[in-house]
Chains A and B, each alone.
Chain A
């Protein structure tokens, strides 16, 4: 059974640029959630995708967008990067059949915006 993988591991971008982060779900999982974890804080929910559609969104601006593909892998796109976007971005997958609580996390992508 393959776990959740994310790429790249680390990324450095300049303010105003755009970035795409990628996530492969754990085998058998059909739901993907993205979280932002700032230094010293807990993960904050960005959004969730289920069957290729956004299924819930946290308090993040529209410049944070995502995609889920037929194989349940996912992308997180951030436009017009700001310094405060510097954080660890975590992807989590789960199997949703109406109720899904236990999410399995990838190792994260560390994004630094300069």
Chain B
């Protein structure tokens, strides 16, 4: 039973355009959501997060949107750059489970020059 799902295993975008990565969850107890980026041979790197009391959080080129009623979040990258090419994981935290992170399966983003 996957509580966090990323239904697109890969996404290809042209440099300068918008990248939209999607994530769906089923556990309504999740109260905090995070996006991590992972390059090969490195551990995941924290990118941006959002609390369940908000619907948007922006940090430079990265914006995360949360739709609680749909149990859906998305990460927008504008403009996309070749250096953004990596695997992106969304993760969710359940305060009733010691704030352990539940990860989605990841989406591989390829930004073409």
Contacts and interface: CB of A to CB of B under 8 A. Distances in A.
A104 B46 contact: yes
Given A44-B103, A56-B100, A101 B45 contact: no
3 shortest interchain CB distances as A-B pairs: A56-B98, A105-B43, A42-B103
Contacts of A4: 43
A43 B41 contact: no
Interface of B: 4, 6, 32, 34, 36, 41-46, 49, 89, 91, 93, 95, 97-106
Interface string A72-102: 0000000000000000001010001001111
B49 A101 contact: yes
A40 B49 contact: no
Contacts of A101: 32, 34, 49, 93, 99, 101
A100 B99 contact: yes
A42 B98 contact: no
A105 B103 CA distance: 14
Given A48-B100, A100-B99, A102-B46, A42 B93 contact: no
B104 A42 contact: yes
Interface of A: 4, 33, 35, 40-45, 48, 55-56, 58, 90, 92, 96, 99-108
B100 A45 contact: yes
Given A33-B100, A41-B106, 10 more contacts: A35-B103, A42-B4, A42-B106, A44-B103, A48-B98, A56-B100, A101-B34, A103-B101, A105-B44, A106-B43
A43 B34 contact: no
Contacts of B101: 33, 35, 43, 45, 101, 103
Nearest to A56: B98
B102 A45 contact: yes
A107 B43 contact: yes
Contacts of B98: 48, 55-56
Contacts of A96: 99
B100 A102 contact: no
